Amino acid sequence: MSSRLKDLFINGKLVPSSNEKFFELTSPYTNEKVAEICETNGVDVDAAVAAARAAFPAWRDVSPTDRGVFLRKMASLIQDHGEEFAHLEALSTGKPVSRYIDSSIAIETFNYLAEAVWTVQGSSSRNTPGHRTVKEPYGVVAAKLISKTEFPPVL
């Protein structure tokens, strides 16, 4: 089985990588080529960050209730496709399907965050009268996933 993942998902669309390079993903179990996956570079990351920054104000302004609905939907989709994720993980890392826990962790995380939207509030202290700590979304962050063992569904 070999497939080519030729596009990146940026700003709600599948777009080709700007450098048109690919790397081979091989199964450590069989040593067979599993897929060709497009490589990204700074141009692709910049495009993804720009799209995320453009979307950030709208997401920041979404009500806690609506954020919770979205986060629960993510958990539900991961649960619905958990078996697929387990097989893909086994294929790409050699990990036995029976040892796959990433989906469960991601589901728990999204469900926790769906409830946590109500607990993140500002605070004040008697030590600093007239001052208030307000918790706000940090913003857009780009990260490079280096290891296959980093629980990608959670990241």
Task: Decide which of 77 and 124 is more confident.
Answer: 77
pLDDT tens across 34-43, in order? 888 888 899 9
pLDDT tens across 138-153, in order? 788 887 765 555 555 5
pLDDT at 90: 86
Tokens found for residue 58: 């709208």
Q: Evaluate if residue 154 carries a pLDDT over 60.
A: no
Mean of pLDDT values over 21-28: 87
Distance CA 42, CA 144 (A): 11
DSSP string of 15-28?
Answer: EE-TT--EEEEE-T
pLDDT at 51: 96
Q: Evaluate if residue 53 carries a pLDDT over 90.
A: yes
Task: Decide which of 137 and 35 is more confident.
Answer: 35
Question: Would you give the DSSP letter of residue 96?
Answer: -
Q: Which pTM does this prediction carry?
A: 0.74
Q: Parse the chain into domains and list their residue ranges.
A: 1-61, 63-146
Three-state SS letters, 89-142: HHHHHCCCHHHCCHHHHHHHHHHHHHHHCCCCCCEECCCCCCCEECCCCCCCCC
pLDDT tens across 63-116, in order? 989 999 999 999 999 999 999 989 888 888 888 888 888 889 999 999 999 998
